[in-house]
Structure 1
Amino acid sequence: MSKLPNVTASIFSVMSQLANKYQAINLSQGFPNFPVDEKLLKISEQLLSANIHQYTPMAGLPTLLEKIALLTKTNYKRKVDIKTEMLVTSGATQGIYTAINAIVNKGDEVIILDPSYDSYEPSVLVAGGKPVRVSLNDDYSPNFNRIASSITTKTKLIIINNPHNPTGKIWEEKDFEDLELILEKHPDIYVLSDEVYEYISFKHAHISINTRPKLIEKSIIASSFGKSLHVTGWKVGYLIAPEHLMKEIKKIHQFLVFSVNSIAQHVISEYLDVVDFKEVAEMYEKKKALFQQQLEHTRFKILPSEGTYFQLVNYSEISSKNDIDFAKELIIEHGIASIPVSVFYKDATDKKILRFCFAKTDETLIKAGKKLHTI
């Protein structure tokens, strides 16, 4: 008997396979196609011949944990105990899966805000929990009336994603205040905050759970070096959580992966001494501006992108087809791949919106723009 009977190939795989088949420009999956920082490559080359090829400690390389703690203190003014409140994971997805399975028991309910990243629900189901999908507002801000009315005596966890994939929405101060009010009324509910795009925000600064004293003791925060340093294939992320939660998370982590790639941890540890995350945000802001410029004078309507490296567009003036069929048409007939946003909803809400990834070379974005102008 399958634990995930309704899970099939992800839309990301489907669209990338179609893109490869038709030699389309792939703006579907969220990975950069440009080279990593030369400083990172240089550090990698220097360390490759060092004696760093065996297991690291289960919770992570000590020097890397120290650097993450410094990063957290510098950016969020939070002091984290590296021995009891932090864990290096094999990517944020593994961290999220591990956290959910440490907290959620059979019959527990987990609130997921739609549109939502596709790994949340399967992780809840494997844990024996019940996903409760709650739609965001039309502008993709959280609807706390809906959230509050979805809470029952079985609610164990609320999963939030900020900056948000697929929409690029960033939570505001008022959103966190409303969440805090809800959790004051329901003190037994935990929060899992997916913040993998935390260093990619534009006009509005990202607000981390790390900065919310009322939420810290009941929250798990997931971060991703793959996203922040554009090395998605390295699959290195980390979790920050209070000791009583991290203790349970580590129990599962040690039997799931035990420890994370040693070379990647050593390289990232040294690279954190020289990388400037403000430059990362500035780079992506320029790419967003370039891609939006390519979309001007097309029939696509550009929607706001406050963070992440994703751009939503509405195509309702172009076609009445559902978003999955239109996305396939774009690949087959026009040579450009995107992700239909309906797949991020439990009920397949179709607002005629596609998600493009602009974490690509300028040349790629300009070529994509030329194709989009023909549609």
Structure 2
Amino acid sequence: MNAIPPAALTAERLDRISPSQTIAISAKARAMKADGRDVISLSAGEPDFETPRNIKDAAIRAIENGETRYTDVSGTRKLREAVARKFKRDHGIDYKPEEIVVSTGGKQVIFNAMVATLDKGDEVIIPAPCWVSYPDIVSLADGTPVIVEAGPNQGFKITPEQLEAAITPKTKWLMLNNPCNPTGAAYTREELKALTDVLMRHPNVWVFTDDIYEKLVFGGFTFATVVEVEPGLKDRTVTMNGCSKAYAMTGWRLGFAGVPLPLAKAMDKLQSQSTSNTSSITQAAAVEALDGPQDTVEEMRRAFERRRDMVVRLLNECPGLHCNTPEGAFYVFPSVQGCLGKTTAGGRKLATDEDFVMALLEEGGVATVHGSAFLFPGYMRISYAEGDEVLREACARIKRFCADLK
């Protein structure tokens, strides 16, 4: 019996997306390490800290107490109440537990919202540089990504004029990441207000705000979220957050969002036919993360701020690189344009940012991600979610690599 050719087996929608390039580079770095290569990986968006002890203990208690059954699809009542308290405590936003959706990571919240709302031809405005998954999720949901570029001259943040110009009768969503992956750029309250003023003039445009890095802001920056700045947008805003970054819980897989009730019901319906509830043990741990002591969050934030300052300084000493100082997250996004057109010590011609990061990995032993993966060529993303000594060594390798270019 003849096998079905792969092209005939897979659905057309898969042709619209690519595998995550951040995951691909991390996998390549791991494979090189497994082969005995000396590689420092700064490609993954994952804190290097352990999950705090009180959160681990809460998970252990949940197991011992038999909290190992299915829960409501959108999360336990206890967790949804904890999330509602978090939004009220941090931002003064009132959500009912029924307006809270808990999913298996923030990515699933985005996926559910887009699949539940987009029809063919609907447009989603996405500022770039942007996280690699946003455009692909929109495309998979039959929507059309509308990319609006925000360069370093404007702090990697879109302007109200750009937003106004991008809105059409087909616009369904603005997708905002604040602070941003990959740039670390964060919108001030005033900058957000300028954007929300535009949105208030367009009642058919919804807002998806990905605030997953909100606790990681530096230099006295004060974070604000969309509905906090403009309460009039609450009925058409999804406010997404989670436990992965602030609480070092990436592998626990839990994201949550405050969602207008009709859309919350639609997302619950969709999730009921995909993953159903996220892990009951993770949910119990998340209650402790949100309601328990927050001192470890501040300890991690201070460590990331110190690392940011060190990495920006060291990268700006590298020939051909230029690095802005970001307001938040744990990434820097230096320009590599001063290195393009040159040749490495190993004889490789660097025509693109992808050429640069692949040569840096294979010849310099440092894994980063090229800016093109984030729809912004000529740059690279470096995660400084590593120990200080590791980061110093990585920056020294990058400096040697750049200095050896001809």
Q: 1:316 aligns with which of 337, 346, 353?
A: 337
Contact 2:200 2:233 in 1 (8 A): no
Give the percent of matched residue pairs that are identical in Structure 1 and Structure 2.
Answer: 26
Q: 2:374 aligns with which of 340, 344, 347?
A: 344
Q: Does 1:48 align with 2:63?
A: yes
State the alpha-carbon separation in 1 of the partners of residues 45 and 66 from structure 2: 33
Query: Structure 1-normalised TM-score?
Result: 0.92
Alignment of 1:167-186 (within 5 A): 167-186=183-202
Distance apart, 1:65 and its partner CA: 1.5
Distance apart, 1:248 and its partner CA: 2.1
State the alpha-carbon separation in 2 of the partners of residues 6 and 260 from structure 1: 27
Contact 2:16 2:139 in 1 (8 A): no
Q: Does 1:108 align with 2:122?
A: yes
Query: Structure 2-normalised TM-score?
Result: 0.86
Please, which runs of 5 or more residues in structure 1 have no aligned partner?
none
Distance apart, 1:119 and its partner CA: 1.7
Q: 2:222 aligns with which of 178, 197, 205?
A: 205
- Cα deviation, 1:180-227, whole Å, max 9, x if unaligned, reads 222222111111111111111112222112413122221001112112
Q: 2:299 aligns with which of 279, 297, 302?
A: 279
Contact 1:4 1:125 in 2 (8 A): no
Q: Which has the larger radius of gyration?
A: 2
Partner of 1:5: 15
State the alpha-carbon separation in 1 of the partners of residues 227 and 301 from structure 2: 19
Contact 1:22 1:335 in 2 (8 A): no
Partner of 1:15: 25
- Name the SS for the 1:60 alignment partner: coil
Contact 1:137 1:143 in 2 (8 A): no
Question: Structure 1 stretches (4+) deviating beyond 4 angstroms?
Answer: none
Contact 1:111 1:131 in 2 (8 A): yes
- Cα deviation, 1:90-116, whole Å, max 9, x if unaligned, reads 100000010111221222111111121
State the alpha-carbon separation in 1 of the partners of residues 135 and 399 from structure 2: 37
Question: Size of the alignment, in residue pairs?
Answer: 370
- CA 46–364 in structure 1, closer or farther in 2 if over 3 Å, else same: farther
Contact 2:116 2:270 in 1 (8 A): yes
State the alpha-carbon separation in 2 of the partners of residues 274 and 88 from structure 1: 21
- Cα deviation, 1:4-29, whole Å, max 9, x if unaligned, reads 31433321132113212333111011
Contact 1:135 1:143 in 2 (8 A): no
Q: 1:302 aligns with which of 323, 328, 332?
A: 323
Partner of 2:174: 158
State the alpha-carbon separation in 2 of the partners of residues 129 and 297 from structure 1: 43
Partner of 2:309: 289
Q: Does 1:68 align with 2:88?
A: no
- Name the SS for the 1:187 alignment partner: coil
- Name the SS for the 1:226 alignment partner: coil
Out of 309-318 and 200-209, give the one that drifted further: 309-318
Partner of 1:81: 96
State the alpha-carbon separation in 2 of the partners of residues 133 and 302 from structure 1: 23
- Name the SS for the 1:193 alignment partner: strand
Contact 1:303 1:313 in 2 (8 A): yes
State the alpha-carbon separation in 2 of the partners of residues 126 and 248 from structure 1: 18
State the alpha-carbon separation in 1 of the partners of residues 168 and 103 from structure 2: 31
State the alpha-carbon separation in 2 of the partners of residues 290 and 102 from structure 1: 43
Alignment of 1:108-127 (within 5 A): 108-127=122-141
Alignment of 1:20-39 (within 5 A): 20-23=30-33, 24-39=39-54
Distance apart, 1:283 and its partner CA: 2.8
Out of 143-152 and 190-199, give the one that drifted further: 143-152
State the alpha-carbon separation in 1 of the partners of residues 204 and 70 from structure 2: 37
RMSD: 1.9
Counterpart residue identity of residue 143, structure 2? G
Out of 87-96 and 235-244, give the one that drifted further: 235-244
State the alpha-carbon separation in 2 of the partners of residues 200 and 324 from structure 1: 28
Out of 285-294 and 130-139, give the one that drifted further: 285-294
Please, which runs of 5 or more residues in structure 2 have no aligned partner?
1-10, 34-38, 342-349, 402-406
Distance apart, 1:290 and its partner CA: 3.5
